Structure 1
Amino acid sequence: MESSVLAFATDLLDEGPDAFFGNLTERAGVGGVTLASVYHEARDVFPHNPRRVVRYLEPGAAYFRPDPARWAGRRLAPVPSTAIGDRDPFAEAAEQAHRRGLRLHAWTVFCHNDRLGFQHPDCAPANAFGDRHRTELCPANPEVREYATTLVEELARYGVDAIRAESLHFHGLRHGYHHERYFEDLGPTAEALLGICFCTHCRAAATAAGVPADEVRDAVREEIRARLTDERRAAEPAALDTLADGAVAAYLDAATRTVTSLAAEVAEAADRHGMRLTFMDGAGPGKGWLSGIDLPALAGTAHQIETLGYARTPEAVREKVAAFALHGVRPQEMAVILRPMSSDCDGPDNLAAKIEILRALGVPEVEFYHYGLMRLSSMDRIGAALR
């Protein structure tokens, strides 16, 4: 079974290559590193970082040096993080990883880009009222799709083994903007409907599929207004597949085809350069419809599906993987991310049991989250569990 640890480029820069790669190989004993290439805004605590304990990550920043010629004339282009200065941590990681015989994966956040969405709101999703969700990019937008495939081509020059594609899909209303405020209870239906994109490109895709897109938008707008106005109505559940005589469901089905086709384009770009595309599904089976995630279709498009195996018990991890099998994703086509920290594991035996379950199910790859956010003792726990 292949193994790697997810990490930030700033972990490498702050610690230096000897300490960073030494911890990966000598403490954790893994065979690869999954390094963030593009990441969203965050504030994190770093237990073992020698230079800082709390760090703010910039919105929608790149942690490699883009080739200006490749992005000339394009509005959507990766912006290097100020944290990397004039260095190229991906080039440094690639050189070190290849010299040490380790695999290098590019952990890439595609459509949750809280820099480009604010800079170019016409590329962000629009709800039924035309309000733009600026922390995201819309997967149906042609410029966004070109940005995604070009990003893969950029990363290929570092000798990357796989693209770990996070956020290669739509998002709901609640997706991590700081100081989000919902003082009235919207109810699950209004919240779900507020997350559906009705931008020009999404409506065109739905219309091409025979869906009356403008009628769906008007029906969704009316339903949201009713639930925002009436507290009792907000609390009433509603089946989205029955709204507007099923037209809302048909519209959402068109959105899943948008995501699947984008994943196919990105997978093809990766394949041309000898890389795999791993589609990261953090929602889990049966929960991704509103995000445009059709697991059986994506399993036939991407090279691999990755999910979060965050759970306290090995049995819960087994259940998570088994649920994917019920949705058309075989364990042999998966990678699973585990957390070795005390929030999920009470010791190396717990982690070892989870790894053994994944191995027995036929899962070929396990990853551990997250290098900079765990104590060194958690790194030791990985090494003991793998041994």
Structure 2
Amino acid sequence: MKASAFLYPWDVIGDPDAPARIADLGVRQVTLASAYHSTRALTPRHPGHRIVTAAYASVLYPPGEPYWRGRRLRPHPAGSWAPGDAFGAAAEALSAAGLDVHSWVVLAHNSRLGAEHPDTSVVNVYGDRYPWAPCIAQPPVRAYLVALAAEAAVRPGAGGTELESCGWYGLAHLHAHDKIAGVPLEGVAQYLMSLCFCPVCEQGYLEVGLDASELRVRVRRALSPVWRGGSVDASGAELLAATLEFRARAARELQEAAVAAVRERAPAGFQVLLHADPRVERCGANAGVDPGHILGVADGVVVPCAGGPELLAAFAARGSALSVLAANVTVVAGLGGSPSSLGEVADRVRGVGATELRLYHAGLASRGDLECVRTSGAVG
């Protein structure tokens, strides 16, 4: 089964053994970050360092000055964790080892953007801003994300791209010293806490027949029992359905525009995939999509399968023989993955319709994790 391993440029640069080590896993492809959010990452085999701290969301190559000139919203180049054209240098080394390279582009997840331009962020029903979550309904934000998708995706050495966070981001976010788990927020409550009430979204609700002031009261009322230890009010499901038309439309418009911009810039045959969840209301790295729609826009999807292959079924039912359905599985035991059972996992996802595997994450995995991948017989 064709597989691609996720990597950061800093997993490769300065480690001359890294390309061969990845190729030895049996994978044919690497999905290499070219635009990424802030993170702290382990590099357990690198000869020069063990911890890489990416202080802010950045592009891992030099952004084109003529391309961004005059734009209020623009990406920042990486700091010392990925200086210069880190993506290009890593891609060249991986290609020399016989590996295909596709870019990995994180879009609507950017805390620095929210810090520098607070008006671009999602604003929840209580007036709290989520600086990590750009509001994709705002035209300037959408224009920025579309431009970023095109530049970060089509890098020298890349034969395709995977667009992550190409949709709404909401409350769920692994933030530094996160302390929001005191009250469980699942399902509808998580959705309601992810609704945006910026001026653009308020106008959007009005366009689907929802007065923003009244909606704010209703959402707060539906959430009120949650803060007292109960469950979201029964009206919460109605509010989800009522607001989803506008939010789904905003996400579709971003996804269509981003894919079109990538294809306009890319050479023929350049593959475009989206990290996606078939539940349209979902926020986060795997954007909620309508399976039939997105498979008519992109070449395929990368679907989270760490909890099982169930989410693949909706895409398999709507895809064509040409659609790429990649199952994203975690192969880092310390992050909850089961690399020792990768062969069984591959069989299960193939049975539901997966055509490829994505292995998260070859740079973070221990030596033992990688040995499990290499001997699993699941990749090739």
Q: TM-score, normalised by structure 1?
A: 0.84
Other-structure match for 1:302 = 298
Shift of the alpha carbon at 1:79?
Answer: 0.9
**Amino acid across the alignment from 1:8:** Y
**Amino acid across the alignment from 1:299:** L
Other-structure match for 1:175 = 173
Does residue 271 (structure 1) correspond to residue 257 (structure 2)? The answer is no
More helix by share: 1
Does residue 205 (structure 1) correspond to residue 204 (structure 2)? The answer is yes
Contact 2:163 2:275 in 1 (8 A): yes
Shift of the alpha carbon at 1:134?
Answer: 0.6
Other-structure match for 1:334 = 325
Q: For 1:84 and 1:285, how far apart are their aligned partners in 2?
A: 34
| Alignment counterpart, residue 353 of structure 1, candidates 336, 344, 347 | 344
**Amino acid across the alignment from 1:199:** C
Does residue 366 (structure 1) correspond to residue 324 (structure 2)? The answer is no
Shift of the alpha carbon at 1:124?
Answer: 0.7
Q: For 1:74 and 1:106, how far apart are their aligned partners in 2?
A: 24
SS in 2 for 1:265: helix
Structure 1 241/364 Cα, relative in aligned 2: closer, same or farther at 3 Å?
A: same
Q: For 2:107 and 2:147, how far apart are their aligned partners in 1?
A: 11
Q: For 1:14 and 1:241, how far apart are their aligned partners in 2?
A: 51
Shift of the alpha carbon at 1:197?
Answer: 0.6
Q: For 2:32 and 2:12, how far apart are their aligned partners in 1?
A: 9
Other-structure match for 1:260 = 252
Other-structure match for 1:34 = 31
SS in 2 for 1:83: coil
**Alpha carbon RMSD of aligned pairs, Å?**
2.8
Q: For 2:111 and 2:40, how far apart are their aligned partners in 1?
A: 14
Shift of the alpha carbon at 1:81?
Answer: 1.4
Shift of the alpha carbon at 1:287?
Answer: 7.2
Does residue 68 (structure 1) correspond to residue 65 (structure 2)? The answer is yes
Contact 2:222 2:235 in 1 (8 A): no
Contact 2:32 2:91 in 1 (8 A): no
Q: For 2:261 and 2:314, how far apart are their aligned partners in 1?
A: 29
**Amino acid across the alignment from 1:286:** R
| 1:98-118 Cα deviation digits (max 9, x unpaired) | 444432111111111111111
Q: What is the correspondence of 1:1-387 to structure 2 with a 5 Å cutoff?
A: 1-15=1-15, 18-25=16-23, 27-84=24-81, 86-155=83-152, 156-182=154-180, 185=183, 188=186, 191-224=190-223, 226-227=224-225, 231=228, 234-243=230-239, 249-272=241-264, 273-274=266-267, 275-281=270-276, 284-286=277-279, 288-289=281-282, 293-296=288-291, 297-311=293-307, 316-317=308-309, 319-322=310-313, 324-325=315-316, 328=318, 332-342=323-333, 343-345=336-338, 347=340, 350-359=341-350, 361-384=352-375, 385=377, 386=379
Structure 1 69/357 Cα, relative in aligned 2: closer, same or farther at 3 Å?
A: same
| 1:19-52 Cα deviation digits (max 9, x unpaired) | 1211111x21211111111222222333222222
Q: For 2:220 and 2:126, how far apart are their aligned partners in 1?
A: 7
Structure 1 206/217 Cα, relative in aligned 2: closer, same or farther at 3 Å?
A: same
Shift of the alpha carbon at 1:340?
Answer: 2.9
Shift of the alpha carbon at 1:57?
Answer: 2.1
Shift of the alpha carbon at 1:211?
Answer: 3.7
Shift of the alpha carbon at 1:323?
Answer: 5.3
Shift of the alpha carbon at 1:223?
Answer: 4.1
Contact 2:278 2:314 in 1 (8 A): yes
SS in 2 for 1:6: strand
Structure 1 121/287 Cα, relative in aligned 2: closer, same or farther at 3 Å?
A: same
Structure 1 337/182 Cα, relative in aligned 2: closer, same or farther at 3 Å?
A: closer
Shift of the alpha carbon at 1:59?
Answer: 1.9
Q: For 1:203 and 1:66, how far apart are their aligned partners in 2?
A: 33
SS in 1 for 2:53: strand
Contact 1:163 1:278 in 2 (8 A): yes
Q: How many percent of aligned residue pairs carry the same amino acid?
A: 27
Runs of 5+ unmatched residues, structure 2: none
